[in-house]
């Protein structure tokens, strides 16, 4: 925070705007129309995206004074690790729509800040490559439960091998939400090969693709060349340079995209699969996308290690309850038995403060680090999150508190 202020005093303008509206404006200018539709867009009419913000606006902080706040400690402990701040980087798929360095840049940004990046199952780089760019810094892995159990096991084994501290299972995306911005442009990213690197780098997935090709070859030997196939070829060869000719001779890229679309999710998912996780991994498991207190109760019964209250940044169910409003009902059910995280709508340090006051142990941010990435690659993602943490530090001190655990419900009031 001192660094940011000193730059201001010396008359330097920060490379990344320090207010969210400014960050959003600049990110939009730097991003293609198609990229912006995917990154900034929400489900339906955008009601839940707005509700996420309105919920934060309804709560106000009630500062206390004269309490010596010269030393402040933002650290929190999660799953045996001390983190420098209660702000993690949410998993984001297809981030190359914001910047070509995508996951590797976001991972590098998180590593510089020392806060975990939750690597997305729909990342644009194999998780091993992102992890390699992060050194020893903390990383978690986010899983979408595939319709193929072998693939689930393979992804969990890779997460373990890259040193993930925890696995986040996202539950609110068994079907993709109604996203008019993307639909109207006819531009869902995955069909063009963005966000499938976790799959194409997976041995189980490659086997499934080969099986599909073999089956298709039996029925119809020649490869059908369509515009979509050519686009995915080109986007694949961007990621694997030097392979263009191989790719052109091979039906694999198209089969890879088709296989992905068939198996990336399991709409029939129930608590039975979640309960089987204990046998599948020894990593702590968090469930992401919990909005109902009864589901939080059920999650505790299933023995999970943490809950992420989230409506996916308003991208799934339009009209869904704001994440912060859901937290108010869920925190008393969990009663501190496992960590509760919150995302969806966090834009500022004071939002972080309010979420913690209402029972979250930490928060994750999605759009903020993506917009920072769009504006300035790795440094931009780092600065966008650093700004939120710096403002959180000031908010804490100016509210008369010196540590995260001192933030309790009486620090806020509903208006
Ligand atoms: C997401 N989110 C997401 N979640 C997840 O579990 N796996 C994923 O691959 C993605 N992909 C993704 C892409 C993009 C472009 C966005 C904006 C979001 C949801 C994300 O993890 C998080 O829940 C929200 O972004 C939080 O809301 P805010 O901070 O964006 O308001």
Could you give the CA distance from residue 193 to residue 315 in angstroms, rounded to a whole number? 20
Ligand 1 centre distance from Cα of residue 107 (Å): 15
**Is the distance from the beta carbon of residue 42 to the nearest atom of ligand 1 less than 6 Å?**
no
Please say whether the beta carbons of 404 and 356 come within 8 A. Answer: yes
Could you give the CA distance from residue 318 to residue 348 in angstroms, rounded to a whole number? 23
Per-residue pLDDT averaged across 354-359, rounded? Answer: 98
**Is the distance from the beta carbon of residue 313 to the nearest atom of ligand 1 less than 6 Å?**
yes
- pLDDT more than 90, % of the chain: 83
What is residue 117's three-state secondary structure?
Answer: strand
Could you give the CA distance from residue 276 to residue 263 in angstroms, rounded to a whole number? 19
Q: Judge whether residue 242 has pLDDT over 50.
A: no
Name the least confident of 189-203, 259-273, 319-333. Answer: 189-203
pLDDT of amino acid 40:
98
pLDDT of amino acid 236:
63
**Is the distance from the beta carbon of residue 365 to the nearest atom of ligand 1 less than 6 Å?**
yes
pLDDT of amino acid 72:
98
Task: For the chain, give the number of residues.
Answer: 415
Q: What are the b/e assignments for 223-242, b being 16+ CB within 10 Å?
A: beeeeebebbbebbbebeee
Q: Could you give the ipTM of this predicted complex?
A: 1.00
Q: What are the b/e assignments for 18-38, b being 16+ CB within 10 Å?
A: bebeebbebbbebbeebbbbb
CA-wise closest residue to 235 among 191, 292, 291? 191
Judged on CB neighbours under 10 Å (0-12, 13-18, 19+), 396 is buried
Q: Judge whether residue 203 has pLDDT over 90.
A: yes
Structure token pair of residue 201? 């780098």
Which ligand 1 atom sits closest to the C-alpha of 38? Answer: 15
Q: Judge whether residue 59 has pLDDT over 80.
A: yes
Number of H helices, E strands in the chain: 19, 12
- pLDDT more than 70, % of the chain: 92
> What sign results for the dihedral spanned by CA atoms 294, 299, 301, 302?
positive
**Is the distance from the beta carbon of residue 312 to the nearest atom of ligand 1 less than 6 Å?**
yes
pLDDT of amino acid 229:
62
pLDDT of amino acid 246:
54
Q: Which of 71, 99, 292, 312 is catalytic?
A: 312
How much is the pTM? 0.94
Could you give the CA distance from residue 53 to residue 279 in angstroms, rounded to a whole number? 39
Q: Judge whether residue 391 has pLDDT over 60.
A: yes
Other C-beta atoms lying within 10 Å of the C-beta of residue 13? 9
Q: What is the pLDDT of residues 85-125, one digit of tens each?
A: 999 999 999 999 999 999 999 999 999 999 999 999 999 99
Please say whether the beta carbons of 317 and 283 come within 8 A. Answer: no
Which ligand 1 atom sits closest to the C-alpha of 40? Answer: 17
Other C-beta atoms lying within 10 Å of the C-beta of residue 286? 26
145 compared with 2, residue with greater pLDDT: 145
pLDDT of amino acid 221:
46
pLDDT of amino acid 224:
52
Query: Which residues are within 8 A (CB) of 118 and not within 5 positions of it... i.e. 6 or more apart?
Result: 88, 89, 90, 91, 139, 140, 141, 142, 168, 364
Structure token pair of residue 178? 């109604």
What is residue 64's three-state secondary structure?
Answer: coil
Q: Judge whether residue 225 has pLDDT over 60.
A: no
pLDDT of amino acid 217:
77
Q: Can 312 be counted among the known catalytic residues? A: yes
pLDDT of amino acid 340:
99
**Is the distance from the beta carbon of residue 310 to the nearest atom of ligand 1 less than 6 Å?**
yes
For 179-193, the DSSP string reads -HHHHHHT--GGGGT
Please say whether the beta carbons of 173 and 312 come within 8 A. Answer: yes
Round the average pLDDT of the chain to a whole number and report it.
93
- Ligand 1 atom 6 nearest Cα: 170
Per-residue pLDDT averaged across 71-80, rounded? Answer: 98
Could you give the CA distance from residue 77 to residue 172 in angstroms, rounded to a whole number? 26
> Which 8-state DSSP code applies to residue 403?
B
125 compared with 231, residue with greater pLDDT: 125
């Amino acid at each position: 925070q001192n660094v940011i202020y000193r730059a201001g005093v010396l008359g330097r303008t920060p490379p990344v705007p320090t207010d969210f509206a400014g960050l959003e404006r600049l990110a939009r200018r730097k991003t293609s129309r198609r990229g912006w539709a995917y990154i900034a867009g929400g489900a339906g009419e955008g009601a839940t995206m707005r509700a996420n913000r309105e919920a934060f606006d309804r709560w106000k902080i009630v500062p206390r004074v004269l309490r010596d706040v010269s030393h402040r400690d933002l650290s929190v402990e999660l799953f045996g690790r001390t983190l420098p701040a209660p702000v993690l980087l949410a998993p984001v798929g297809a981030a190359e729509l914001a910047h070509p360095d995508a996951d590797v840049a976001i991972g590098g940004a998180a590593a510089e800040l020392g806060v975990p990046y939750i690597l997305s199952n729909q990342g644009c780089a194999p998780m091993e490559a992102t992890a390699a760019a992060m050194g020893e810094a903390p990383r978690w892995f986010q899983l979408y439960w595939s319709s193929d159990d072998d693939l689930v096991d393979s992804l969990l084994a890779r997460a373990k091998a890259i040193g993930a501290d925890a696995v986040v299972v996202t539950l609110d995306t068994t079907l993709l939400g109604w996203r008019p911005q993307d639909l109207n442009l006819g531009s869902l990213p995955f069909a063009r090969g963005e966000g499938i690197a976790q799959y194409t780098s997976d041995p189980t997935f490659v086997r499934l693709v080969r099986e599909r090709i073999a089956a298709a070859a039996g029925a119809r030997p020649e490869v059908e060349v369509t515009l979509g196939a050519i686009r995915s070829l080109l986007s694949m060869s961007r990621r694997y340079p030097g392979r263009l000719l191989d790719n052109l001779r091979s039906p694999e890229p198209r089969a890879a995209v088709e296989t992905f679309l068939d198996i990336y999710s399991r709409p029939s998912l129930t608590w039975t699969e979640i309960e089987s996780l204990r046998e599948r991994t020894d990593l702590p498991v968090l469930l992401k996308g919990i909005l109902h207190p009864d589901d939080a109760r059920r999650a505790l019964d299933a023995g999970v290690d943490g809950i992420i209250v989230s409506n996916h940044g308003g991208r799934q169910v339009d009209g869904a309850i704001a994440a912060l409003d859901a937290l108010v009902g869920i925190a008393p059910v969990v009663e501190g038995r496992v960590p509760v995280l919150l995302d969806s709508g966090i834009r500022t340090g004071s939002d972080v403060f309010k979420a913690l006051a209402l029972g979250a142990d930490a928060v994750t941010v999605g759009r903020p680090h993506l917009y920072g990435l769009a504006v300035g690659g790795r440094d931009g993602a780092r600065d966008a999150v650093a700004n939120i943490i710096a403002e959180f530090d000031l908010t804490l001190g100016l509210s008369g508190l010196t540590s995260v655990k001192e933030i309790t419900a009486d620090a806020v009031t509903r208006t």
